[in-house]
Structures are given as structure tokens and as C-alpha cells.
Structure 1
Amino acid sequence: MRVVSPNDFTDLSEVRDRLRAFEDRYNAAAQPFQWKFTTSDLDDLLTRLDRHASADRQEESSAALTT
């Protein structure tokens, strides 16, 4: 994290001050954004991941039987 790099702090209060200054700058510049990843997209992704995980488990089972 660039806000704490370089790590040349002499005490924790310097770390605190730098993090608070970053928070203030970030909050002043932050803007809302629109998500493009819908719940349907998430459902599709989870289905694909589950399908891959099932295939991997089947391959592992097959490999264990042949050894």
C-alpha cells in the first residue's frame, strides 16, 4: 500500500496521521459507481465454478482408482 510506503515511521502516531490524511483525501475524491455485474452474472459464475469443481473431483477420483 503506497500510503504507508516507505515505511520510515518513527512511531505509531505518524502511521495514524498518514492513514487519516489518506482517508480524508480519498473520501473527498470518491464518487459512486454503477455495478455492471448483476445477480444473474453471479449465479452464472457460481454455476460454472461448481461445474469445474465437480469435474476436478471426478478426475481426482478416476486417477485414484487407476493407481
Structure 2
Amino acid sequence: MIQFTLEGDYIPLIQLLKATNLVSSGGDAQMVVTDGMVKYNGDVDYRKRLKVKRGDKVEFNGQTIEII
């Protein structure tokens, strides 16, 4: 599990995937979200600009990111 410390109120999903090095670029992040490869709090989510907040969990490619 990856723990990501949030510094503001939220982080857009695409930026979170880049910040945790699970994708190499913003374009890659957009593609995996659009292809339904990312789960947000247990459900597949297709929103690229989703605001991820403290307490949320994001799953991608066998990794879980916990926002703290």
C-alpha cells in the first residue's frame, strides 16, 4: 500500500497517479482512467478530474493508494 500525504484539500486523480509514479505521464494517466483501470473507493471511476481527498483509496495496477 502506498500512503500519500495530501497537502491541500484535494488532488486530481490524474495528478495523484503521476505523483505516486504509477504512470509516467499525464497522457498515460488519462488513458488508464478512461479505460476503466482505476478504482476509487472500491468502484471503477472514469472521471479524470476527480478530486481525491483525505480518507479516500485509489486502486490501480495491483497497488492501493491511501490518502492521508
Please indicate the TM-score interval, normalised by the length of the shorter structure. under 0.3
- Larger relative strand fraction: 2
Larger radius of gyration: 1
- Larger relative helix fraction: 1
Taking structure 2 as the reference length, the TM-score comes to 0.24
Structure possessing the higher relative contact order (Cα contacts under 8 Å, 6 or more residues apart): 2
